[in-house]
Structure 1
Amino acid sequence: MGRFVERFALHLSEAGFPRMPARVFVAILVSEDGQRTAAELGEVLRVSPAAVSGAVQYLVQVGLVARDRKPGERRDHYRLYDDTWYEALTRQDSLYTRWEQDLRDGMAAVGPDSAAGARLEETRQFFGFLREEFSRVMDDWRRTRAAGGR
């Protein structure tokens, strides 16, 4: 299992995911119940509590992991959300919308007829395309999952 965790985390980091959060995410992903404590993560990954703390803070911030505390316990448990990937990726829609507006503002600032304006417009169109296609793909995924998956 350790080799899988490291390999998948490496592939996530090659795609832009920070390395330690990738390792922590995969360690939670492969746990039987989809959750681990900070101590368990440190033990599994052989890293310091500080490394785990920074990684889970990032994962909580980006919405991939939730922090819970069971009644009567003093330790936090870090768990995956149901539909973790779906939920995290669905948030991209609002990000693309904000970027499109920012790019419109940028075009107004540099002038739509300038070379920079043309680059900004192409970038805006690209993110608009991604937003629309992504919405369609996520709808398809919801239907596929509701029908019993693949």
Structure 2
Amino acid sequence: MTLQDRERIAAGLADGLSYAEIARRLDRPNSTITREVARNGGPTGYRSQQAHQATIQRARRGTPAPPRAPGSPGRVMEEELVELAVRTGLPKTSARVHIDLLLSEDGKRTAAELAHRLNISPATVSLAVNFLVELGFIRRERSPQRRRDIYVVDDDAWYHSIVTGRRQTLDTVQATTAAAEIYGLDSPVGQRLVKAAAFLERVSLDMIDSADRWRTLLA
């Protein structure tokens, strides 16, 4: 991917375009754009120059290839869970980190442990966990004994991920409503946007109501 491609990605994110639309304009697979953004700061922190330099540095340093799966039932199950997570929209590395944390006995790992277990660089771990923290799937804690961050996934993470998703949806509702006012609430475009905003808001409120009602199942 060229610097110009990354500049177009940054411009598309700034304009609020979806990954799919950016991918279409660049004639690239949607997964390529998703991985590129996730590895380089996420949708709010992506910077074309920084992403380009980071990619060059990774290429020079070289990232070890993951080990071949031994074929054990546990490993096969883990890979199936990763693939399911990828199908829901998670980048592959973030999915691997998430599943590794879910399957750990206490739901906790340091960055060094994740890098060692998944055979990936610390920088890649950092990008993956930042993406997961932003989505509410995991949280970051500070270990006073080790003086380093620990990444934690617990039962309540599912609830927090829904809350985080609701906030993002409500942001979309506000932006859509504002756009409707600009085009005119009585115009065809304005009416279409108002209907979309009302639908998204109602679904979002129903989701959080349901999450609050069933949160006790995670206790």
TM-score category (smaller protein): 0.7 to 0.9
Structure 1 segments, 4+ long, off by >4 Å, are none
- 1:85 and 2:158 matched: yes
In 1, distance between residues paired with 2:107 and 2:89?
A: 23
Task: Find the partner of 1:21 among 86, 94, 99.
Answer: 94
Report the TM-score, using the length of structure 2 for normalisation: 0.59
Deviation at 1:129, TM superposition (A): 1.9
Q: Report deviation, 1:81.
A: 4.1
Q: Distance in 2 between matches of 1:48 and 1:99?
A: 34
Residue 80 of structure 2 aligns with which residue? 7
Distance 1:35 1:86 in 2: 18
Look up the SS of the partner of 2:144 in the other structure: coil
Paired position in structure 2 for 1:50: 123
Q: Which deviates more, 104-113 or 54-63?
A: 54-63
Aligned twin of 1:134: 207
Per mean C-alpha deviation after superposition, the further-off stretch among 30-39 and 59-68 is 59-68
Gaps of 5+ in 1: none
Aligned partner of 2:174 among 84, 101, 108: 101
| 2:210 partner letter | V
Hey, what's the Cα distance between the residues in 2 that align with 1:132 and 1:33? 32
Q: Map Cα deviations across residues 28-62 of structure 1 (whole Å, 9 max, x no partner).
A: 01000101122221232222222112111222233
How many residues are aligned here?
146
> Partners in 1 of 2:212 and 2:90 — Cα distance?
25
Q: 1:5 to 1:139 in 2, by over 3 A?
A: same
Query: RMSD across aligned C-alpha pairs, in angstroms?
Result: 2.2
How far does residue 68 in structure 1 lie from its aligned partner after superposition? 2.5
Q: 1:82: Cα distance to partner? A: 4.4
Give the partner amino acid of 2:165.
Answer: Q
**What displacement does 1:121 show?**
1.8
Distance across 2 between alignment mates of 1:134 and 1:30: 26
- Residues 1:115 and 2:209 aligned together: no
Assess, with a 3 A threshold, how the Cα gap between structure 1 residues 139 and 68 changes in structure 2: closer, same or farther.
closer
